[in-house]
Structure 1
Amino acid sequence: MKSAVETLSPTRAKLTVEVPFEELKPSLDAAYQKIAKQINVPGFRRGKVPPQVIDRQVGRGVVLDEAVNEVLPKAYVEALQENNLTPLAQPEIEVTKFEDNESLEFTAEVDIKPEIELPAYDGLEASVDDLAVTDEDVATQVDALRERFGTLIDVERPAQDGDFVVIDLVATKDGETVEGAEIAGFSYKVGNGGMIDGLDEVLVGTAAGEDKTFTTQLVSGDLVGQDVEVAVKVTQVQEQELPELDDEFAQEASEFDTLDELRADVRERLTRGKRLEQAAAARDAVLEALLEKVEIPLPESMVTEELNARRANLEQQLQFAGMTLEKYLEDEKQTQEEFEADLERRVRDAVAAQFLLDEIADKEEMGVDQGELTQHMIRRAQQSGQDPQEFVNHMFEHNHVPELVQEIRRGKALQLLVEGATVKDAAGNVIELKNLQADGSIGEPADETAVETADEVADEAEAAEETEAPAEA
């Protein structure tokens, strides 16, 4: 077999492949055997029909087509290997020449992994914001804990912002009740938002036993974006009474004896969470610093695929939250054009980062052992709320394991970058990253296997964005 490659662009190549007819012989034999098992010819047992009889019965052309269909994928893969090309998508294959007893010629156009000239990546420098936990941050967390131990008391006055009300609600369109838009005895905190536009404004000033009607638009269902009439009746108004902030509250709400100890623990928890967020920011800043040093051509098909995937994921999340894209953009104070531009920028950076980290992992000859793969799959299963065994089975059955292995290698490459970088906060202090633990504390790991990858630390940072209050005693 002979092959030649033509570079169409830094991310796309065209292979021209020639397979001599004698190299098709094994595929021809296999084609005859396959067809022999599929046809019935009087005087011959199934599977024992001679080739010349098959030629007369079904035609030589059918056999040749079968042989070509078998040999094409093998020849294509062999041509890729001969020319050291890494495909990124399915190829566009065209048979340009083939006749009986003559060589097979075909072309294959495919997106390929671009060649990257790695810049020096040891000793990168980056900066992040200062780690700051204010008294206000601590007070907010303590107040949230107080609300968990608050009691609701009925009041004989109109509802105010922050009150809890028990309501009956029904939405109608042209006099007909909207399916799924009718509730009774529902407890709702006035001012919480996220339920029906206009509800909070109507509830403020409404007393128990009163009815109100207003017009709004639904954000989900068959009538999304259409005006509906909403009738709401308040059956109960309750005021939340919070416990006093003292040592007795600390003992009731936590394992601490004093309020000062509780506040100190909240501050430490917030500090660890902020440290994880700072580590995630450092990871991004280091990677961005390296990306600025290199030009990486990107295959547009890969960018488009990732853009579509992220749009679909956002739409699914918004639908689940009962929010339209228009409302989301309004809350984010973005226009559609700004949203699309920002999304494309982030996608291009993400794709470029993948190529860059893959190249570093290859250069450093980073491998993945079975223990690392198993741990990674369990963590992914936990993040997605799936049963670990079912997740593992799915990954193997659908051949996703190579993708997971590549994720781990990228994580190791990123960890190498971060640990070799100098990251400072706005005040000029060097940020400790190498020995950052999963809970946000700083310590010496027992061994190398105890050190999490940069991606794992980033996952912990996302979980720590809203630090939980101390557990009840």
Structure 2
Amino acid sequence: MKSSVEKLSDTRSKITVEVPFSELKPEIDQAYTALAQQVQIPGFRKGKAPRQLIDARFGRGAVLEQVVNDMLPNRYAQAIEAEGIKAIGQPNVEVTKIEDNELVEFVAEVDVRPEFELPKFEDITVEVPAIKADEEAIEAELETLRARFSTLKDHNHKLKKGEFVTINITASIDGEKIEEATTEGLSYEIGSDDLIDGLDKALIGAKKDETVEFTSELANGEHKGKEAQISVEITATKQRELPDLDDEFAQLASEFDTIEELRESTVTDVEAKQKNEQAAAIRDEVLAAALGEADFALPQSIVDEQAHSQLHQLLGELAHDDAALNPLLEAQGTTREEFDKKNVEDAEKAVRTQLFLDTLSEVEEPEVSQQELTDHILFTAQSYGMDPNQFIGQLQQSGQIANLFSDVRRGKALAQAICRVNVKDSEGNEIDPKEYFGEEEVAETESEA
């Protein structure tokens, strides 16, 4: 087999492959065997008909077509490996020559991973927020826990931020009622500031059974951007009552018997949470800095495929009803044009990151253990809410286990590179990234898993 490569661009190559018939004996034998099973010729058992009779019945062209279909995948894979082509995506293949008993020639165009120089991670410096497991953070965590066990009780005093109301909202423009901006029996927390601009200010100081009025610009719908008169009737008012921080609460909200034990556990939890956040911040900052120093083109077809996949996933949540997307985007205060633009930008970012990490993986050459792969599969199954055995079965059926292996390899390659980066926190303290990304920490995580 002979092959040659022509570089079409930084992200696309064309490979021409010639395969002599002397190398196609296995495929030729397989083609005749398959065709012999499809015909019953008098005087011969099924599957035992001579090749001359098969040629006469089906024609030599049918045999050659079967041979070519059988040989293309393997010969293409052999050619790109021999030529060192880092192919991504599916190739466009064209059979350009078939000379019976001589050779088969085909041409394949395929997107390739662009070549670029990786930055020196030793020269990268990043800054991340400092860990502050102080009393304020601990109290905030305890307040969040108290809120989970709070109760709502009616009251009749003037409304304050953080209290709850049930309201009927009517919107109108020049006396004409706007149905899409009108609702009844809506529950709302004052101060959340996620409904109508000016609503919180109007509610604060009001009382149950009162009606407040104000003007506001409509954010969505047919009248988006227009000033409307908003009338809000307050039908119910409630305030949150938090349980006391005592031993009884500790027993209710946790496995601890005393509030002191709960507080000590909260300190540990806050520290662990902030360390996880700091580790994630280091990873994100290093990756962003490294990508900023790596200049390379993106294969447009791969970007388009990624953008289409992201859109398809969103439409899947809408029962693949494209018409339902625009109302959803309007409710989020954006347009289809803005959504499509951001979708492409997100796709470009995802493709750029993966290509960068694939190149980094080749340089770092991290080893991925079976335990690491298993842990990643179990974690992914959990994130999808699937039974692990069912998830593994689907991976095997679709041939996706190799993709998850690559995910783990990319993560380990980045972790190795991060260990060479200079890291400081927002208070100027130096951080050893090996504390989060060193081999000992990885091994410890595997053991705990």
Normalised to the residue count of structure 1, the TM-score between the two structures is 0.72
Shift of 1:123: 6.2
User: Displacement of 1:132 after TM fit?
Assistant: 3.9
| Counterpart in the other structure of 2:288 | 288
The structural deviation recorded for 1:183 is 11
Matched, 1:328 2:322: no
In the alignment of these two chains, the number of paired residues is 426
Equivalent of 2:443 in 449, 452, 455: 449
SS in 2 for 1:239: strand
Q: Which residue of the partner structure matches residue 24 of structure 1?
A: 24
Structure with greater helix share of residues: 2
What TM-score, normalized by structure 2, do the two folds share? 0.75
| Cα shift at 1:413 | 0.8
The 2-side partners of 1:80 and 1:349 are apart by 22
What is the 5 A alignment of 1:329-408?
339=342, 342-343=345-346, 346-361=349-364, 364=365, 366-408=366-408
AA at the equivalent of 1:58: F
More divergent stretch after superposition (403-412 vs 335-344): 335-344
Cα drift, residue 233 of structure 1:
10
Residue 152 in structure 1 maps to residue 152 in structure 2: yes
Deviation, 1:8, is: 1.2
For 2:422, give the aligned amino acid: T
Task: Give the whole-Å Cα distance in 2 for the aligned partners of 1:74 and 1:385.
Answer: 37
Shift of 1:53: 1.5
Do the aligned partners of 1:287 and 1:353 also contact (CA within 8 Å) in 2?
no
Give CA deviations for 1:376-408 in whole Å, capped at 9, x if unaligned: 211111222211111122112211111111111
Aligned to 1:100: 100
C-alpha contact (below 8 Å) 1:31/1:67 kept by paired residues: yes
Give the Cα–Cα distance (whole angstroms) in 1 for the partners of residues 241 and 325 of structure 2. 30
Q: How far apart, in 1, do the equivalents of 2:427 and 2:57 lie?
A: 85
Which secondary structure does the structure 2 equivalent of 1:435 belong to?
helix
Contact conserved, 1:435 with 1:444, CA < 8 A, in 2?
A: no
- Distance in 2 separating the partners of 1:145 and 1:367: 42
Q: Is contact 2:245-2:259 (8 Å) kept?
A: no
Instruction: Sort the Cα spacing of 1:252 and 1:109 in 2 relative to 1 into closer, same or farther, 3 A.
Output: closer
Deviation at 1:114, TM superposition (A): 3.0
More deviation, 90-99/21-30 = 21-30
Equivalent positions of 1:287-326 (< 5 A) are 287-313=287-313, 324-326=328-330
Amino acid at match of 2:412: K
2:395 alignment partner, SS class: helix
Residues 11 and 283 (structure 1 numbering): CA distance in 2 closer, same or farther, change over 3 Å? same
Shift of 1:429: 0.9
Q: Is the CA contact (8 Å cut-off) linking 2:361 and 2:410 kept in structure 1?
A: yes
**Pairing 1:143–2:143 present:** yes
1:18 alignment partner AA: E
- 1:63 equivalent to 2:63? Answer yes
SS at match of 1:3: strand
**1:268-291 deviations in Å (ceiling 9; x for gaps):** 533432222121111122233333
Distance 2:308 2:149 in 1: 45
Q: Deviations along 1:339-390, whole A, 9 cap, x unmatched?
A: 35753563354234323332224xx3x3323222212211111222211111
Letter in 2 for 1:359: E
Letter in 2 for 1:415: A
3-state DSSP of counterpart to 1:89: strand
In structure 2, the partner of 1:435 is 435
Q: Per-residue displacement from partner, 1:185-211 (whole Å, max 9, x unpaired)?
A: x977566687x879x88x96795899x
- What amino acid does structure 2 have at the position aligned with 1:302? I
- Aligned partner of residue 153 in structure 1, secondary structure: strand
